[in-house]
Amino acid sequence: MSAPVRIGLIGAGRIGASHAAVVARRVHGASLVAVADPRPGAAAEVAGPLDARTETSVEAVLRADDVDAVVVAASSVAHRDLVVAAAEAGKHVFCEKPAGMSLAEIDDVRTATAKAGVAFQVGFNRRFAREFAAAHEAIVAGRLGDVRQLRSLTRDPGRGPSDPDGVPPWTIFTQTLIHDFDTLNWLNPGAHAVDVVATAGSLTAPGHPTLLDHATVVVTYSNGAIATAEASFAATYGYDVRAEVLGSEAMVTMGEGAQSSLRLHDGSGRLATTAHSDTELLLDAYTGELEELVAAVREGRAPSVGADDAFAAFAIAQACIDSFTTGGRAAVATAVPQEA
């Protein structure tokens, strides 16, 4: 059996802590060796219970001989620089989405990881959720025929951001819906997004227009398929991730949110408890995506979801920004736009 893939975590926030625990406790063939985070104590809090060491800097992780791969879960604005530095240090990289803050940044990531010959994977977790993977498999096998109409949806639990002005502009497109854009791309194999029209608003905090907390995006694909991506930052009933694909031969639906098959029947009716966090709903998918990284590293191959996918999904997010700004339809870029 091969030696374990030794992993360093960069960024010990909520999702970083989740990835660290998944690596340490659930991914066979991986070990968590180091955790770095600029916030004092944050790295130690994650590393300690998982028997990993705390590093005081990213550089220390990237220099470490006992680190084979890094998981980048820092702030999105740092993703490009961190991935490029990791690649130059010869580390394989798993990077949370988005892989950069612009198409140019993601292109840098693509170039740097390709040049370094390291594995690069972006955190599009739904590809590793069981029902999504089964749907993709059915589509690729031709069971749906031609793909014609799609929908992908993400709703975050709760009542919306506590600090509406603290949410970076375009978050709903670049951070949330980017999952749906990748899902739609992936479930419509062989086609690419052509144009986009985005409708969005600030509904939980009407006086804060930079916050877009609900958005519905229609994407037209090169094969004529019409896709809808929907997001909300305020689902009182929990974390909701669903999709459906209508093909010429069959239709598939994915996602239903129940925590388990338990149903409680009382005077109110029949109740299914729903999942209230991504780490609950998607734990197996989070495990699966990191297992994919480990497998790719061990097998010396590219992970199944890489920089091209990161680019294609971000291109839709970028087109959403354009569409929302103009109010009209916007083209989806297939290459980094040239400066005017």
Map the footprint of its own copies across residues 221-260, applying CB under 8 A: 224-228, 230, 232, 234-238, 246, 248-260
Structure tokens at 236: 């009182």
Only one of the segments 103-111, 119-127, 178-186, 210-218 lies at the binding site for its own copies (rule: CB under 8 A); that segment is 210-218
Which of 40, 166, 190, 267 lies at the binding interface for its own copies (CB under 8 A)? 267
Cβ 38 vs Cβ 62: under 8 Å: no
Only one of the segments 5-13, 99-107, 112-120, 327-335 lies at the binding site for its own copies (rule: CB under 8 A); that segment is 327-335
C-alpha angle 327/199/258, rounded to 5°? 170
Q: By rule CB under 8 A, what count of residues binds its own copies?
A: 76
Spatial CA neighbour of 98 closest among 114, 118, 78: 78
Asked whether the CA dihedral 103, 106, 110, 116 is positive or negative, the reply is positive
Exposure letters 139-171 (e unless 16+ CB within 10 A, then b): beeeebeebbebbbbbbbbbebbeebeebeebb
Q: How far is the CB of 256 from its own copies (least distance, A)?
A: 4
Asked whether the CA dihedral 149, 175, 168, 107 is positive or negative, the reply is negative
- The binding track of 271-300 with respect to its own copies, each residue x by CB under 8 A or -, is xxxx--------------------------
Asked if residue 146 binds its own copies (CB under 8 A), the reply is yes
166/267 with CB nearer its own copies: 267
Asked if residue 92 binds its own copies (CB under 8 A), the reply is no
Structure tokens at 82: 């961190």
Footprint of its own copies on 40-79 (CB under 8 A): 49-51
Half-sphere exposure of 260 (CA within 13 A, CB side): 3
Only one of the segments 7-15, 64-72, 127-135, 171-179 lies at the binding site for its own copies (rule: CB under 8 A); that segment is 127-135
255/306 with CB nearer its own copies: 255
Asked if residue 159 binds its own copies (CB under 8 A), the reply is yes
222/334 with CB nearer its own copies: 222
Phi/psi class of residue 286: alpha, beta or left (left: φ > 0; alpha: ψ in -120 to 50)? alpha
Residue 38: alpha-carbon gap to chain centroid: 23
99/225 with CB nearer its own copies: 225
Asked if residue 26 binds its own copies (CB under 8 A), the reply is yes
56/273 with CB nearer its own copies: 273
Q: How far is the CB of 211 from its own copies (least distance, A)?
A: 13
* Beta strands in 118-225, from DSSP E residues, in sequence order: 120-122, 147-157, 193-201, 214-221
Q: How many other C-beta atoms can be found within 10 angstroms of the C-beta atom of residue 56? A: 12
248/338 with CB nearer its own copies: 248
Q: How far is the CB of 245 from its own copies (least distance, A)?
A: 10
